[in-house]
Structure 1
Amino acid sequence: MTTDVDILIIGAGPAGLFGAYYAGARGLSVAVIDSLSQLGGQVTAMYPEKQIYDIAGLPAVSGRDLVRGLVDQATQYESTFILGEEAQLHERLPEGSLRRHQVTTSSGKVVRCGAVIVTGGIGTFTPRPLPAGEDFLGRGLDYFVPDSAEYAGKDVLVVGGGDSAIDWCLTLESIAASVTLVHRREQFRAHAASVTEVRSSSVRIVTNAEVVRLDGGAVVEKATYQLKGGEASTVPCQKVVAALGFTANLGPLREWELELANNRHIVVDSAMRTNQPGIFAAGDITDYDGKVRLIAVGFGEVATAVNNAAVYIDPDAQLFPGHSTDTPHQVSLSA
């Protein structure tokens, strides 16, 4: 399968989704590749229910609602989304080719494009596994929660001690039959105020313990945890959230001969250009003097990347596309 587009965006998080919209608004065709199976990147994977307070014009918005709005905005145009696949091999096509780049995914799909924009959060994110429960993955065990409604009325076990684990405890407490939190240490890595809130809630907290076994039939039914220096105990659970974090890895992008900072970020200039012609980057994955890693910053960076990519693809194109208020839009009015 070969897809032919003007711009390929690698990463379907907030910056990537806004980039897909912005490129579409400029009349450019777009394909988006993401290693995760759902749109939204880290926001969907790690904190869909958490409130975000630093998005311009939105005093507060949940991660899920932010992604929903970005998807609605991006899908105004006919973008191609290739999810659950890694962008792997990059090849530069011969001079004079209409499409100058070819990227092959982990399943062998091929995208030919005029320019590439990398917007991955910090590369490829692989969930840290719960060794005791891999057999129940998809049968009650999840590494992130796409829909909290699935946990209503269930006994839920959350494993972990970071922000994601604490956030899920707070989110699920009001809808689950019970929530138990198991963490291998006494101290939590999460925001102190959130930890205090969990300690004041009905969530049962077990520290200095590790989950050593999950049991059940078609789905998980109970978990066994081992206290350090103590005996094993069992807790009933029909849902397990292993919020153990994600391993960040640039993966195959390391083979693209991109200039890197700290071996994990892609160095760009003020036009979001990398050291490789026709390859741009935006969002958390980038690095330059004064870099600030915020969603709000990523939105501006990807707009800059798209506009400069448009000129790279067509040197006669205008860098500044004009203001959106100058563009006629159809407005639907209802009585």
Structure 2
Amino acid sequence: MAVVGAGPAGLYAAYCAGFRGLSSVIVDALPEPGGQIAALYPEKKIHDVAGHVAVRGRELVEQLVAQAAQFGPRYVLGRTAATLTRDPAGTGWELGLEDGGQVRAGAVVIAAGLGRSVPRTLPCLRPYEGRGVAHHVPRLDAHRDRDVVIVGGGDSAVDWALALAPIARSVTVVHRRAAFRAHEHGVRQMYAAGVQVLTDAQVTACHGVRRLEEVRVTTGEQELRLPAQALVGALGFLTSLGPVADWGLRVENRLLAVDRTMRTNLERVYAVGDICTYEGRVPLISVGLGEAATAANHAAVELRPGSRLAPEHSTDLDAVPVS
């Protein structure tokens, strides 16, 4: 089974496939497993995974990688899946990679998250990209004793503010509206943590010699100058399906339509996680993990007709790695 995407849903799909005795290959354009969690918020705490009061992104990825490792999945990382075509025998699929490589599999699970993502930004931030301006925080400790400005009003902006408040010298959140899109509980925590919050405000300029040193914020008719050695632009992302859009899959609202088995309109091709859509779907990591289990078990039945859909109880079996 081929899995496109090495985020949580993709990693769990590989584990579930292995549990059913299937081998798997995981393809991802990023150089390491974890998907957007590893790339964008490895230090953020995640609160929607069953069995965890809260778990840091990197810890969740480490646990999912270790879980899948019992069955020896093969990783093809830093390489983009560009095409999907029938294999010559017409019984399986070929994933064509951008560098000319190929992966053949009897079934495919697409767990590509939001597809290709480009961060939204502001014109005044672009000259300082990589010189103090970033769109995520891979390591919280890198901002110790810094003055940090966070631009945005969604959950990511509030989460970064809460995570950095105990570490940075100062944290200021700048939001262009009066009301936050973020969860109300998080917003209350942010104010209680002593974060400076500027609403109805906009970052209009950045200054610094070699790196960012100061930002200017306009609020009403007032212009403020804030010291800033780091600015996090939490303004969301522009997303697209990328090459997946050309694979002959049924697309609804820029997502892949699936049925209750997580199958797309193509035989033995499934989609799970944030890239899929169906009526009533809730976009949570925990939901994506359940979808991965559903897809992998249905793929097992497709590849081995006559086998049971429901796997044996995991508490009754010793895991045996696939050779």
Question: Is the counterpart of residue 235 in structure 1 residue 226 in structure 2?
Answer: yes
**Which residue identity lines up with residue 284 of structure 2 in the other structure?**
L
Who is 1:326 aligned against?
Answer: 316
8 Å contact from structure 1 (residues 122, 264) kept in 2? no
With over 3 angstroms needed to count, the CA separation of the structure-2 counterparts of 1:320 and 1:187, relative to structure 1, is closer
With over 3 angstroms needed to count, the CA separation of the structure-2 counterparts of 1:250 and 1:314, relative to structure 1, is same
Question: Is the counterpart of residue 21 in structure 1 residue 15 in structure 2?
Answer: yes
Question: Is the counterpart of residue 145 in structure 1 residue 137 in structure 2?
Answer: yes
Compute the TM-score of the two structures, normalised by the length of structure 2: 0.85
- 1: CA distance, partners of 2:2 / 2:18: 12
Q: For 1:275, which of 265, 274, 278 is the aligned residue?
A: 265
Bigger shift: residues 276-285 or 218-227: 218-227
**Which residue identity lines up with residue 57 of structure 1 in the other structure?**
G
Deviation per residue, 1:102-143 (Å, 9 max, x gap):
223445443332221012334333222343223433333221
**Which residue identity lines up with residue 197 of structure 1 in the other structure?**
Q
Q: For 2:128, which of 136, 142, 148 is the aligned residue?
A: 136
Displacement of 1:314 = 4.2
- 2: CA distance, partners of 1:327 / 1:69: 20
Determine helix, strand or coil for the equivalent of 1:310: helix
With over 3 angstroms needed to count, the CA separation of the structure-2 counterparts of 1:194 and 1:304, relative to structure 1, is closer
- 2: CA distance, partners of 1:181 / 1:201: 12
8 Å contact from structure 2 (residues 41, 138) kept in 1? no
- 2: CA distance, partners of 1:78 / 1:252: 27
- 1: CA distance, partners of 2:218 / 2:80: 37
8 Å contact from structure 1 (residues 47, 167) kept in 2? no
Q: Which runs of 4+ in 1 moved over 6 A?
A: none
- 2: CA distance, partners of 1:108 / 1:156: 43
Displacement of 1:317 = 5.4
8 Å contact from structure 1 (residues 47, 164) kept in 2? no
Who is 2:25 aligned against?
Answer: 31
Who is 2:249 aligned against?
Answer: 258
**Which residue identity lines up with residue 250 of structure 1 in the other structure?**
L
Question: Is the counterpart of residue 301 in structure 1 residue 291 in structure 2?
Answer: yes
**Which residue identity lines up with residue 83 of structure 2 in the other structure?**
L
With over 3 angstroms needed to count, the CA separation of the structure-2 counterparts of 1:38 and 1:214, relative to structure 1, is farther
Displacement of 1:58 = 2.6
- 1: CA distance, partners of 2:185 / 2:143: 24
Identity of aligned residues (%): 45
Question: Is the counterpart of residue 220 in structure 1 residue 212 in structure 2?
Answer: yes
Displacement of 1:176 = 0.7
Question: Is the counterpart of residue 204 in structure 1 residue 196 in structure 2?
Answer: yes
**Which residue identity lines up with residue 298 of structure 2 in the other structure?**
N
Who is 1:112 aligned against?
Answer: 104
Gapped regions of structure 1 (runs ≥ 5): 1-6, 331-335
With over 3 angstroms needed to count, the CA separation of the structure-2 counterparts of 1:148 and 1:38, relative to structure 1, is farther
Displacement of 1:47 = 5.3
Displacement of 1:256 = 1.6
How large is the RMSD of aligned CA atoms in angstroms? Answer: 2.8
- 1: CA distance, partners of 2:127 / 2:289: 39
Who is 2:84 aligned against?
Answer: 90
8 Å contact from structure 1 (residues 122, 248) kept in 2? yes
- 1: CA distance, partners of 2:197 / 2:54: 29
Bigger shift: residues 162-171 or 318-327: 318-327
Number of residue-to-residue matches in the alignment? 320
**Which residue identity lines up with residue 237 of structure 1 in the other structure?**
A
With over 3 angstroms needed to count, the CA separation of the structure-2 counterparts of 1:32 and 1:127, relative to structure 1, is farther
Determine helix, strand or coil for the equivalent of 1:32: strand
Compute the TM-score of the two structures, normalised by the length of structure 1: 0.83
Higher relative contact order by CA 8 Å / sep ≥ 6: 1 or 2?
A: 2
Deviation per residue, 1:5-39 (Å, 9 max, x gap):
xx221222221121122223334332323455554
Bigger shift: residues 315-324 or 124-133: 315-324
8 Å contact from structure 1 (residues 35, 124) kept in 2? no
- 2: CA distance, partners of 1:106 / 1:129: 28
Determine helix, strand or coil for the equivalent of 2:265: coil
With over 3 angstroms needed to count, the CA separation of the structure-2 counterparts of 1:314 and 1:167, relative to structure 1, is same
- 2: CA distance, partners of 1:84 / 1:247: 21
Bigger shift: residues 202-211 or 142-151: 202-211
